[in-house]
Structure formats: C-alpha cells, structure tokens
Chain A
Amino acid sequence: MRTYKPKDDVQKKAYYTDRFYVAPQVPKSDVESDEVFAKDLEAIKAKFEVLDAYIQVEQMVVWIKPEDNYGVIELMRDELEYTQLSELSAIDFIAQRDEFEIFYQMLSMNKRKRVRIKMSIKNGQAVNSVEKLFRSADWSEREMYDMFGIVANGHPFMKRILMPYDWQGHPLLKSYPLQGDEFAAWYEVDKIFGKEARDIVGPELRDTSRVDRYDSTRFARLGHEVPFGAEVKGDEPVTEQSYQEEGGVFLVKKLDKASSVVVDDPQR
C-alpha cells in the first residue's frame, strides 16, 4: 500500500507533479552515420580517452575525462577547425549522483558542424580553465563559478560576474530557493542600512496571490488617487486634471475647457 499524503493543501500547490514522470530522451544515433563527425572522433580518440560519443539532433556529443578538457579543446581548435567556443556552462546533478555535468559547445564554420564536449565532475572538484584557448571562456567560466561555485583553475580573474562580489550562495544550484535564502532576502537592507534596520523596513512581500484591499493606499489609482496611508472608502471623487488649479499663478492663466476651442481642421 502506498504511503498516505495529506491532500488538504493540494490547492496551494503551484504545479501538478507526476510521480511516474519519465523525462523524454532525445534519440541518439551512431557517430558512424556522419563521416565528418566520424573523422573528428577518430582524431580525438587517437590522443585522448573518450568515454562515450553519439549524435543528437545533428550534433556530436563527446564525453571525455575532466582532466583532458584543455587538451581536447586545443585539439578541436587547432586541428579539427572548431574555431568557436559558443557556450560553456554546467548542469546540476547533485541530487541524482553528486556530480556536475560541464559542457563546451563548439562550432566549426568551415565544416558547418557543432560538437558538444561533455564531462562529469564531482561536487567540489575544480576544472581546468580554457580561457587561454578561447577568450569567450573568460566570462563563461566566471558565470559558471558565480552560478554553480565551480572553480576554473588558471583563470586570470576568478570572480563573480552577475551577482555582487559579496553575495553568498550560488543561485543556479537546484538546492537554491528561487525566492532566495535569508541572506538574499535581506541583502539590500543589510548592505545599505545595516541589520538593525530589518525591523523598520520589514520583510519582503513575496506571496503573488495575496490580495489586500488596502493595497490602493500604496499604489496610485489613476483618476482616483489617494494620499499615502489614507483610508480608502471606495467613493473617492475623480481627480480633475488641469494645468493650473485655483486660477493658476500670475502670468499663467488657467485653461478653461468650456471657453476654449478645439481646432479640428488642420488647414483652418
């Protein structure tokens, strides 16, 4: 018998999750089916150990060992004409097998082919920087460090790129909450006003489904504005918008709509 789960708060769940869901897999085909890729793979296999290789969506995916990444990408660039590193990042598989997958997406304009170099590293392990080979890896590796906390050894400026330098945590980890941890929630208050101001500023209002009928004290209601903090009765008069109220000031006459003429004819 399956374990009982209370269903009284089932309406509050944002998404329906299927317990038996199996993520669809993109079909893989053999590398031999494409002769350009087959030659490239032979060249890589001659020098480095290839754990797995296949073709997915007309792109070759090559799994290598993490310590070979610099050598493989150098070989791809100098001998196999893959002259662009278009993307580099990591994928979080910590919950499944305590690993990160790192991919290098490479493009050859001469061959009109794309190759994805992939490797698995353990959680906490560092990778070799490929910034010496491709300048595009500079910011990508900084982003990888910022978002996942994976350090690239040999990088000239291994600092955060998107989040502030004094940020704590790595936001693209699957364990990181979308709405932030406590550090993130109070970041700007702590930094600008200090921790003692938390009580004065108050916590963030994060509940998107929260309806407060007094919201209109805080937000302008076009045509029926109320001052800040005033009680809203619902029968506020329409705000008459004119250039100068109460007769205006000297030299500037109040625009009287009744006595003014609207010119419709552009030729007049």
Chain B
Amino acid sequence: MAQHKINYTQDGGLPVALTTIDKVANWGRSNSLWAMTYGLACCGIEMMAAGASRYDFDRFGTIFRASPRQSDVMIVAGTLTKKHSEFIKRLYDQMTEPRWVISMGSCANTGGMFNTYATVQGVDRIIPVDLYLPGCAPRPETLQYGVMLLQKKIRANKAGRAQKSKRLM
C-alpha cells in the first residue's frame, strides 16, 4: 500500500492539464502579439512611449518588430498620406496570417484634421481594420487598452477558422 497516494484528479497531481486546441492557440496568439514598427506621425511617439519602460508593452508579450514578416499586428500610428498608401498595402500583404490591424488616432481613423488632397481619409479605405482607437494622439494607456481588447477579440475567435476580412479586393 503506497503511503503517498497520488490523486490524479486534483491539483498537485501529475502535471497534466486538459484544455482545447482553440484555447491554447488563442492563448499563444493573444499573448505574443508582435507589432510592426509603424509610426507614421506623432501617434508614433505615443506608441514608442507605450513600448518603453514606463508603460512597458513587453508585459503583454507585445514586442515591436522591424519586419512585416515577423509581426502579427500592424499599429497604424499616424497620418497616412496618399503617396504612402501603396506601401501600407504592400506591408499588410507581407504580414502572415493571422494578422490584425489597429488604427491608432484620428488621422488613421478618418484622416482627422488633415482634410486635404494629400491625406487618405481613413486607413480602412486601404486595409481592413480590427480596432479603432480614438484620440489625437491617444495616450499610451489607450493603446494598451486597445491591445488588451484585441487580445480579448482574438481569444473570442475560433483559432482554427480562417479570419474573415471585412473588406478585401
């Protein structure tokens, strides 16, 4: 008779956990959201502040990558000019699935105060956007909150299913 009987069904038993593939995949995806370094204007400064030590994006597993091929989320931080619009499409197409887009600040949402000939009136005319952050510029707390919302959105999805694009030609 074993003196220390192991209760397999309780905590502290064998290191076995039962969960679903969806949950594991979503946990991995949502907690390692690598963002693309994409500061276009003054929102980029707030994005950098959110990544630096005071606000510290690394806590969320969000690490900025300098290549679209290594990143999961594109944070469009700033004014998108018409001259640059073809490059944002190209960079978005280079990102691997699954990919997400956060439109950060008024300029990326709607063109903002730049109601002129040279500014794209909302980045969702070019690429599908998952999350719109209001503000001019949004504070780092807003961006962190947005990333947490995006994590929530990712966890709510079925991981195995392909993402449905809102607008893609």
Q: Which single member of A163, A181, A208, A218 contacts B115 (CB below 8 Å)?
A: A208
B19 and A250 within 8 A (CB): yes
Q: How far is the CB of A181 from chain B (nearest CB, A)?
A: 8
Q: Which single member of A163, A219, A220 contacts B83 (CB below 8 Å)?
A: A163
A206 and B89 within 8 A (CB): no
Q: How many residues does chain B have at the interface if contact means C-beta atoms less than 8 Å apart?
A: 36
Question: Which A residues are CB-close (under 8 A) to B169?
Answer: 193, 197, 200
A187 and B82 within 8 A (CB): yes
Per-residue B-contact encoding for A150-193, CB less than 8 Å = 1, 0 else: 00000000000011100000010000111111001001110111
- Decide if A3 is an interface residue (CB 8 Å cutoff): no
B148 and A164 within 8 A (CB): no
Instruction: State the CA gap A208–B119 with chains docked (Å).
Output: 14
Give B146-169 interface residues, CB cut-off 8 Å to A. 146, 148-149, 152, 155, 166-167, 169
A220 and B86 within 8 A (CB): no
Given contacts A188-B82, A200-B169, contact A206 B133 (CB under 8 A): no
Question: Which A residues are CB-close (under 8 A) to B118?
Answer: 163, 171, 180, 184
Given contacts A177-B117, A180-B116, A200-B167, contact A219 B155 (CB under 8 A): no
Question: Which A residues are CB-close (under 8 A) to B32?
Answer: none
By beta carbon, the residue of chain B nearest A165 is: B83
Instruction: State the CA gap A163–B146 with chains docked (Å).
Output: 33
Question: Which B residues are CB-close (under 8 A) to A197?
Answer: 169
Question: Which B residues are CB-close (under 8 A) to A162?
Answer: 83
A220 and B19 within 8 A (CB): no
Binds A, one of B35-43, B45-53, B66-74, B124-132: B124-132
B149 and A225 within 8 A (CB): yes
Instruction: State the CA gap A221–B142 with chains docked (Å).
Output: 11
Q: How many A-B residue pairs have CB under 8 A?
A: 82
Instruction: State the CA gap A211–B19 with chains docked (Å).
Output: 47
- Decide if B120 is an interface residue (CB 8 Å cutoff): yes
By beta carbon, the residue of chain A nearest B120 is: A188
Given contacts A192-B126, A220-B132, contact A241 B121 (CB under 8 A): no
Given contacts A220-B133, A220-B134, contact A245 B125 (CB under 8 A): no
- Decide if A261 is an interface residue (CB 8 Å cutoff): no
Question: Which B residues are CB-close (under 8 A) to A193?
Answer: 169
By beta carbon, the residue of chain B nearest A243 is: B148
- Give chain A's interface residue range (CB within 8 Å of chain B): 35 or more
B17 and A164 within 8 A (CB): no
Q: How far is the CB of A250 from chain B (nearest CB, A)?
A: 4
- Decide if B62 is an interface residue (CB 8 Å cutoff): no
A228 and B121 within 8 A (CB): no
B145 and A222 within 8 A (CB): yes
Question: Which A residues are CB-close (under 8 A) to B27?
Answer: 249, 252
By beta carbon, the residue of chain B nearest A192 is: B89
Instruction: State the CA gap A225–B153 with chains docked (Å).
Output: 11
Question: Which A residues are CB-close (under 8 A) to B111?
Answer: 204
Chain B interface (Cβ within 8 Å of chain A)?
17, 19, 23-24, 27, 82-83, 85-86, 89, 109-111, 115-118, 120-122, 125-126, 131-134, 142, 145-146, 148-149, 152, 155, 166-167, 169
11 additional A-B pairs beyond A164-B83, A188-B120, A241-B148, beta carbons within 8 Å, are A164-B82, A180-B118, A192-B89, A197-B169, A204-B111, A206-B115, A208-B115, A221-B134, A222-B142, A245-B152, A251-B17
